[in-house]
C-alpha cells in the first residue's frame, strides 16, 4: 500500500477535497484492516507495529503536515474525520492518530524552529510516532503543579522527573516533555523539550493495565539526569504553559471526535441487534420503548457530532474556539457513556461478555470524561468564558 493511497487509488490530497469520501476511505481501512484485530489487541493490550505502519501508509499520521515535509497538507477538520472513522471501529487506534495529529504534529508546526520542523515533521508523517508528556502523579487537572525540573547546565539543561499516563508511550520515537526551569516563577518557568527515545537518562517505564482503550499504550516516563541541548527547547524557555494550553484546546476536539466515532459504532451495533434479538415473538426493535431509547441517543449523538465539527471548523477558520472545544468534549463524552450503556442494555446478557463488541466500547467510553481535561475542568472553562 503506497503512502498516499488506499485501494481506491485516489491520492489523499485529492480525498481532502471531498470530506465525506475521505472519511469513508478511512472507515473502509478501519473495517478491513483494524476490525479483525480489535479483540486480540484489546486482550493483549498491544497494537502490532505492522498496523501502525499501515496507518503511516494510509497518510493519516501526518494529516496537517505540509506536503513539503511529506504530509498530506490537509486541514484540522480532516484529522477530526480520521479520528472519528477509526474510533468507530477501535477508539484505541483513533487515539493513536489523534495524539499524533492534534497534539504532537500541531505543536511542532506552531512552535518548532525551522530546524526542528525539517528534522521531525518528515519523520512524523512517514514513520515516527509522537507522544505528549505533560501529566504527573501530582499534576493532572492542575497540570502546572508539575515536579519535573530542568536545570541549566553547559549551555543546555538536565531534566529530572517522572511523567505518568503518557499515551503512545510504548510506540513513540519522539516525546514532547514538559519540565520547569524556574520553579520560583511558577507556571512561567514551564518549558517544553523534545526528547528522542533512547536518549541517555530517558526511559519509557511501566505500561498501565487499563480498563479501556487497552491497545493504546499508556506509560510512565522516567528522566534521571537527562541532558538536552538548548536547541531541544520547543518554543521559548518559560513559555511551555502556552504550548500546553493551546495544544490541549485543539486536542480536546480530537477527543470529541474519538467519542462520537465510538458512539456511532456502538449505536450501529445496537440498531442491528434490535432486528436480530426476539422476545415475545417479535424483534425487540418493534417495541416502542426500545425505539424511543434509540431515537433519544441518536439525537444526542447528532448534536455531539455537530458540536465537534463546529469546533473543528472554527479552529480551521482561525476563530476563537476555546468554549466550543470544551463544550464538545464535555458533551460528546457524556453521550458516549449514554450510547454505549444503552448498547450493552439492548444486548442483554450478551452485552456483558467479551464475545460481543459493545462490552469493549462501554469500557472505552469512560476515559473521555477524564483525559485531556476532566469534565469538571471543561465545565469550569465554559463557566469562566461565559462570565468573563
Cα angle at 222 between 111 and 172, to 5 degrees? 55
Residues whose CB is less than 8 angstroms from the CB of residue 236 and which lie 6 or more positions away in sequence, other chains included: 191
Contact 350, 362 (CB under 8 A): no
363: closest CA among 218, 217, 260, 212?
212
- Count CB neighbours of 36 within 10 A: 9
Which residues, including other chains, have CB under 8 Å from residue 7's CB and lie 6 or more apart? 1, 28
Distance between CA atoms of 71 and 81, rounded to whole angstroms?
Answer: 16
C-alpha cell at 262: 465510538
Residues 197, 202, 206, 208, CA torsion sign: negative
d(CA 138, CA 246): 21
φ/ψ region of 281 (left if φ > 0, alpha if ψ in -120 to 50, else beta) reads: left
Q: How far apart are CA 65 and CA 71, in angstroms?
A: 4
Of 136, 220, 300, 372, the catalytic one is: 372
286 catalytically annotated: no
Which residues participate in catalysis according to the annotation? Answer: 372
Amino acid at each position: 500500500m503506497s503512502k498516499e493511497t488506499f485501494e481506491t487509488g485516489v491520492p489523499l490530497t485529492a480525498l481532502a477535497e471531498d470530506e465525506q469520501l475521505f472519511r469513508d476511505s478511512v472507515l473502509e481501512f478501519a473495517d478491513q484492516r483494524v476490525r479483525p484485530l480489535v479483540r486480540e489487541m484489546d486482550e493483549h493490550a498491544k497494537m502490532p507495529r505492522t498496523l501502525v505502519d499501515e496507518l503511516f501508509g494510509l497518510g493519516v499520521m501526518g494529516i496537517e503536515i505540509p506536503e513539503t515535509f511529506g504530509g498530506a497538507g490537509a486541514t484540522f477538520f480532516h484529522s477530526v474525520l480520521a479520528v472519528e472513522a477509526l474510533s468507530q471501529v477501535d477508539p484505541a487506534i483513533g487515539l493513536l492518530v489523534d495524539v499524533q495529529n492534534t497534539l504532537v504534529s500541531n505543536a511542532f508546526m506552531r512552535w518548532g524552529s525551522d530546524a526542528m520542523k525539517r528534522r521531525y515533521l518528515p519523520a512524523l508523517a512517514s514513520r515516527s510516532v509522537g507522544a505528549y508528556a505533560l501529566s504527573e502523579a501530582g499534576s493532572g487537572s492542575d497540570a502546572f503543579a508539575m515536579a519535573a525540573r530542568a536545570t541549566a547546565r553547559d549551555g543546555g539543561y538536565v531534566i529530572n522527573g517522572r511523567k505518568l499516563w503518557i499515551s503512545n508511550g510504548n510506540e513513540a520515537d519522539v516525546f514532547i516533555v514538559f519540565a520547569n526551569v524556574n520553579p520560583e516563577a511558577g507556571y512561567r518557568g514551564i518549558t517544553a523539550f523534545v526528547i528522542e527515545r533512547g536518549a541517555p537518562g530517558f526511559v519509557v517505564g511501566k505500561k498501565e493495565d487499563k480498563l479501556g482503550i487497552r491497545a493504546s499504550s499508556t506509560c510512565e516516563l522516567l528522566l534521571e539526569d537527562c541532558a538536552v541541548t538548548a536547541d531541544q527547547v520547543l518554543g521559548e524557555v518559560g513559555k511551555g504553559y502556552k504550548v500546553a494550553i493551546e495544544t490541549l484546546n485543539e486536542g480536546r476536539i480530537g477527543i470529541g471526535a474519538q467519542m462520537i466515532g465510538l458512539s456511532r459504532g456502538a449505536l450501529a451495533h445496537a440498531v442491528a441487534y434490535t432486528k436480530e434479538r426476539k422476545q415475545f415473538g417479535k424483534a425487540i426493535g418493534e417495541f416502542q420503548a426500545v425505539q424511543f431509547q434509540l431515537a433519544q441517543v441518536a439525537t444526542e449523538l447528532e448534536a455531539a457530532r455537530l458540536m465537534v465539527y463546529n469546533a473543528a471548523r472554527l479552529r480551521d477558520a482561525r476563530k476563537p474556539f476555546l468554549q466550543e472545544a470544551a463544550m464538545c468534549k464535555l458533551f460528546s463524552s457524556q453521550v458516549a457513556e449514554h450510547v454505549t450503556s444503552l448498547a450493552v442494555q439492548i444486548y442483554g446478557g450478551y452485552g456483558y461478555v467479551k464475545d460481543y463488541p459493545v462490552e469493549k466500547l462501554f469500557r472505552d467510553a469512560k476515559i473521555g470524561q477524564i483525559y485531556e481535561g476532566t469534565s469538571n475542568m471543561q465545565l469550569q472553562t465554559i463557566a469562566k468564558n461565559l462570565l468573563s
